[in-house]
C-alpha cells in the first residue's frame, strides 16, 4: 500500500516511529540497575528482603492510587491531546 505524504508529515511520522521504538529512560535505567539491585537483594536475609519487597509493593500501590486519583473521571469529556 502506497501513501503519499507531505515532506513535513513524513518527517514527523519518522520521528514518531523513532520515539515509539526507543525505550524510555526509565526502562533503560531499570535494565541497567535492575540486575545489580536484584543480586544485592538476594544476598539479604529472607526476613529483610521480605520486608523490603513489602515496602516496595506498598509504595507502588500508593503511587498508583495517587496517579489514579489525579485523573478526571468524566466519561462525557473528550480526551485531551495536549501531551500527544
pLDDT in tens, 1-58: 577 778 888 888 988 888 888 878 778 888 888 889 899 999 999 999 999 999 999 9
Query: What are the pLDDT digits (tens) for 62-75?
Result: 999 998 888 877 77
Give pLDDT, residue 4: 78
Give pLDDT, residue 83: 62
Give pLDDT, residue 44: 95
Distances (CA, A) of 4 to 12, 17, 20, 31, 68: 14, 17, 22, 39, 41
Provide the greatest CA pair distance for the chain.
62
Burial track 41-75 (b if 16+ CB lie within 10 A, e otherwise): eeeeeeeeeeeeeeeeeeeeeeeeeeeeeeeeeee
The rounded Cα 45 to chain-centroid distance in angstroms is: 30
**In the predicted model, is pLDDT for residue 80 greater than 60?**
yes
Amino acid at each position: 500500500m502506497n501513501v503519499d505524504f507531505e515532506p513535513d508529515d513524513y518527517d514527523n511520522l519518522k520521528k514518531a516511529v523513532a520515539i515509539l521504538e526507543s525505550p524510555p529512560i526509565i526502562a533503560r535505567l531499570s535494565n541497567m540497575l535492575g540486575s545489580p539491585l536484584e543480586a544485592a537483594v538476594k544476598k539479604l536475609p529472607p526476613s529483610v528482603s521480605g520486608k523490603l519487597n513489602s515496602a516496595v509493593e506498598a509504595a507502588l500501590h500508593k503511587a498508583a492510587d495517587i496517579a489514579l486519583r489525579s485523573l478526571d473521571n468524566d466519561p462525557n469529556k473528550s480526551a485531551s491531546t495536549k501531551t500527544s
